[in-house]
Amino acid sequence: MDGNLYAAFEARFPADRARHFIEFADGALHCTYGDLDAVTARYARLLRDLGVRAGDRVVAQTEKSPEALMLYLACLRAGAVYVPLNTAYRPAEVDYFLSDSKPRVAVCDPDAHAALLPLAAKAGVAHLLTLGADGAGTFAELARALEPSFPTTACARNDLAAILYTSGTTGRSKGAMLTHGNLASNALTLHRIWGFAPGDVLLHALPIYHTHGLFVACNCVLLNGSTMIFLPKFDGAEVARLLGRATVFMGVPTYYTRLLSLPRFGRDACRTMRLFISGSAPLLEDTFREFEARTGHTILERYGMTEAGMITSNPLIGARIAGSVGPPLPGVEARIADETGRELEAGKVGVLEIKGPNVFKGYWCNAEKTREEFRADGYFITGDVARIDAKGYVSIVGRAKDLIISGGLNVYPKEIELALDALDGVAESAVIGLPHADFGEAVAGVVAVKPGATPSSEAMIAALKETMAAFKVPKVMFFVDDLPRNAMGKVQKNVLRERYKATFSR
Ligand code: AMP
């Protein structure tokens, strides 16, 4: 059987190929399913002409555009391995990704071409071509003259479809190898459990170099054979305006807080919507409740990661619980274990381990790291600290690496963050461990303050001491306007740890 993900999409494309796949914000038609078929065929043909064979890598550091998405689909059709890179990476970082993934072809923004050329040559990249935000560039030009037909390469489910470098909030990026089977199983499950149906329109504001915007959002739409409105990037006012043409929206929590900061945002803007989905970072309970009060919609929170696509989801029908990421997806097994992999009793906090058809094949050229992160019985160690309740709902308590050990006692930052977030004047918070001669690590709180609030460290520390053991309470507090976040909205605790590391050595 053909395991190519593109074949699964193609089987579900609308019979009428004049139906819209992508629309622009201004309502102008950009691309029909017929265009998708023709453009991806030309691109796949060009990849072949450039010598790309099944299993060869194609690196893309391209601005978000329909053409950039077509390049992903063309790689699937050609059996090539698509390697998208965050557009924010500087040449020195791209250097690492090129030399690690060793692509036959790399495609970059026209403005980056001169800087990347020597790096591509050094990494042995045969062709460095360009594709701009407007869809123009040497890649598109070379493809234009080619025949718009291409027989999609048959492949096994276990063949690689993509390598995604993990977002690297901590440590050096590793390339997660995702197979056609990983992506297909996850997309088919999400398409079903989130109730995608003909007529759904997805408003797409996420970047397309990450699992969330690329696989979760686009693959669901492709399996649905329906339309998405494609925005180059998230803009609160623009999203609020366009929701009236959409039925589904996917965002990181920051998108939701930005929508809520618009004074007139409410039910009227969401009148055509059936589903709001959030993920990639924890959704604050406050945001969940305020969104419900303002719009009448309960945000559906799901949890996943580069290495496994989506892992859990709150239900479409049934209780969506604030602060929980829902039960494991159908076909995904999850357990809570201690650091040796021994399963803990129900309700205990520990590291979440998972197994299922969505779990990646391993890290590219890094057998040692792969071995370290899998148990002998095939479970993948997510590194997230979690709890599973009696109903099977998972709550993420923090990252294993976030865990603070102060005076030999474990402190889970999430617990203290929730307590801080509940105090007056706190917009949000991050709790970190700082080097401390006596305790090993000392708990520190970093608080983003609400406009106009005048916080006091002493008062906050005193308030926390009333409800929790003293060893968990921050020894020091810092007040900031905003917490530093990466492109996916995750708080960069490593930046905070670096910024405040000398606090106790003075
Ligand atoms: P990435 O590989 O960049 O998608 O990052 C994956 C990590 O993001 C996970 O391991 C979690 O730590 C975090 N994450 C994703 N979704 C959620 C969520 N809904 N709640 C809390 N953390 C999340």
- Whether residue 56 is found in the same domain as residue 177: yes
Tally of structural domains, the chain: 3
CA of 304 from ligand 1 middle (Å) equals 6
Pocket test for ligand 1, best of 211, 299, 303 (most atoms within 8 A of CB): 303
Residue 65 lies in a domain: yes
State whether the beta carbon of 214 lies less than 6 angstroms from ligand 1.
Answer: no
- Whether residue 145 is found in the same domain as residue 127: yes
**Mean pLDDT of the region 282-287:** 89
Of 230, 231, 84, the residue nearest 167 (C-alpha): 84
- Whether residue 433 is found in the same domain as residue 311: no
Range in 95-109, 224-238, 353-367, 440-454 the model is least confident about: 440-454
**Mean pLDDT of the region 458-465:** 94
Nearest atom of ligand 1 to the alpha carbon of 279: 19
pLDDT in tens, 39-58: 999 999 999 999 999 999 99
Predicted pLDDT at 172: 65
Range in 152-161, 249-258, 330-339, 483-492 the model is least confident about: 483-492
What's the pTM?
A: 0.88
Pocket test for ligand 1, best of 254, 299, 302, 305 (most atoms within 8 A of CB): 305
- What's the rounded Cα separation, in Å, for the pair 302 and 277? 7
Computed from CA positions of residues 410, 415, 419, 420, in that sequence, does the dihedral angle turn out positive or negative?
A: positive
- Whether residue 49 is found in the same domain as residue 153: yes
Those residues with Cβ within 8 angstroms of residue 271's Cβ, 6 or more apart along the chain or in another chain:
244
- Whether residue 429 is found in the same domain as residue 307: no
State whether the beta carbon of 287 lies less than 6 angstroms from ligand 1.
Answer: no
pLDDT in tens, 329-351: 999 999 999 988 999 999 999 99
CA of 493 from ligand 1 middle (Å) equals 14
Residue minimizing CA distance to atom 9 of ligand 1: 305
Residues in the chain: 506
For residue 3, which phi and psi values (nearest 5 degrees)?
A: -95, 10
Residue 92 lies in a domain: yes
Q: At residue 469, does pLDDT exceed 90?
A: no
pLDDT in tens, 160-204: 999 999 854 445 689 999 999 999 999 999 999 999 999 999 999
Under 8 Å between Cβ of 374 and 353 = no
Show which of 369, 399, 429 is a domain's final residue: 399
State whether the beta carbon of 174 lies less than 6 angstroms from ligand 1.
Answer: no
Predicted pLDDT at 265: 98
Range of the domain at 414: 404-505
pLDDT in tens, 18-33: 999 999 998 777 899 9
CATH number of the domain enclosing 99 = 3.40.50.12780
Residue 172 lies in a domain: yes
- Whether residue 414 is found in the same domain as residue 364: no
Q: At residue 62, does pLDDT exceed 50?
A: yes
Show which of 137, 161, 184 is a domain's final residue: 184
Q: What is the mean pLDDT of the chain?
A: 94
CA of 314 from ligand 1 middle (Å) equals 15
- Whether residue 180 is found in the same domain as residue 89: yes
- Whether residue 471 is found in the same domain as residue 369: no
